[in-house]
């Protein structure tokens, strides 16, 4: 355990978050997502795990991880097949965590299921959560941390 770091963030996850650069994608996926096979195609090449709900994992990650302010799709969610405008409770919970971390409303953009799989394969890494509800899959593009004021 370390001061100021959410205890859900294990050493492997912390190393990956630290290694990522501006514009790299992070996938946070539910238990039904093909996380292992997709993770093998990512830059990291292996699956990371945090066994907690999607909202808890997003809260922990966003406590350290800056979202990209230069793009519209820095926060994205997998659409429900056949119901692209419906937002299930798991996504509403994650939206609250994004807004809290950013201190403002930061709506997630919907991504069609198969387009989400393709985005995930191009990501830096995948964190599989213990989330059992459907459509608990999210993509976050890493931003930058500005230098200290001079």
Residues 77, 66: Cα–Cα separation, whole Å: 17
The domain in which residue 136 lies consists of 9-140
In a domain, 104, yes or no: yes
The pLDDT profile of the chain, 150 residues, written as one tens digit per residue, is 789 999 999 999 999 999 999 999 999 999 999 999 999 999 999 999 999 999 999 999 999 999 999 999 999 999 999 999 999 999 999 999 999 999 999 999 999 999 999 999 999 999 999 999 999 999 999 999 989 866
pTM of the model: 0.95
First and final CA of the chain: distance in angstroms?
33
Q: Give the active site residues.
A: 22, 68, 117
| C-beta neighbour count of 40 within 10 angstroms | 13
The reply to whether 43 falls in a domain is yes
According to the model, what pLDDT value does residue 150 have?
63
146 belongs to a structural domain = no
Would you state the pLDDT for residue 48? 98
Whether 103 maps to a domain, the answer reads yes
Is 42 inside any structural domain? yes
Sheet (strand 75-78) strand order: 48-50, 125-129, 25-29, 138-141, 75-78, 109-111
Residue 131 lies in a domain: yes
Q: Residue 2 domain-assigned?
A: no
Residue 106 lies in a domain: yes
CA–CA distance, 73 with 51 (Å, rounded to integer): 26
Tell me, what CATH number does 121's domain have?
Answer: 3.40.1650.10
- Number of domains within the chain: 1
């Amino acid at each position: 355990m370390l001061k100021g770091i959410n205890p859900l963030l294990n050493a492997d996850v912390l190393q990956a978050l630290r290694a990522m650069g501006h514009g790299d994608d992070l996938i946070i996926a539910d238990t039904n997502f093909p996380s292992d096979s997709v993770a093998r195609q990512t830059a990291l090449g292996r699956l990371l795990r945090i066994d907690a709900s999607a909202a808890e994992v997003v809260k922990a990650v966003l406590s350290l991880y800056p979202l990209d302010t230069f793009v519209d799709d820095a926060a994205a969610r997998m659409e429900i097949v056949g119901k692209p405008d419906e937002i299930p409770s798991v996504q509403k919970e994650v939206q609250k965590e994004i807004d809290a971390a950013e201190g403002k409303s930061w709506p997630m953009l919907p991504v069609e299921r198969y387009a989400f799989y393709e985005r995930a394969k191009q990501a830096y890494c995948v964190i599989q959560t213990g989330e059992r509800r459907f459509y608990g899959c999210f993509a976050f593009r890493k931003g930058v941390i500005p230098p200290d004021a001079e």
